[in-house]
Amino acid sequence: MTLEPSPVATADLHRLHARLTAAADAADLLDVAYRIVDTPVGPLLLAATPAGLVRVAYAVEDHDAVLDRLAADLSPRILAAPARLDTAARQLDEYFRGTRTTFDLPLDLSLARGFRREVITHLPGYGRTASYAEVAAVAGSPRAVRAVGTACARNPLPVVLPCHRVVRGDGDLGRYVGGVEAKRALLRLETAA
């Protein structure tokens, strides 16, 4: 005779998770908090450390794989803690509604080092685009065009640090971590505002 486990109500699971999150937070055991938000370009995973927003990931990046990578690179003490990311979620919602043109969030850039960090801190402003060559020049290495492409592809904070605004010199959109359609949608959103 096989005994079936008794079903646990969803509400009970949510209460248990909330207690676990609160206890981990109170004991300073929560190093990376995350949540998933629905957006016009698909679900985005948001992750934050106590220093700030550390990762934004598209679904095509495989959210579970991103969480595994965060556990390896930052800390295994990761927990879904949506409240910690309320401000980031609200600002993303405002951006997608066309009422926000810049993000005002503390950022943890520990996943971007060296020239990659230099690139993602020199991206064009809202509603503007720049070529990979232009960004390379502004970042201080005019001949590092391919490295700019790599930096954009590995940007840990897409949308918030807008690598979607970097295009090829011939005007073609080029590649994007969230896919070309997401890049096109973001650029269209910014020119419509």
Active site residues: 163
CA distances from 174 to 8, 22, 61, 138, 185 (A): 48, 43, 18, 19, 14
Name the DSSP class of 82: G
CA distances from 132 to 4, 33, 40, 82, 84 (A): 58, 33, 26, 35, 34
Amino acid at 144: A
Question: Phi-psi category of 83—alpha, beta or left, where left has phi over 0 and alpha has psi -120 to 50?
Answer: alpha
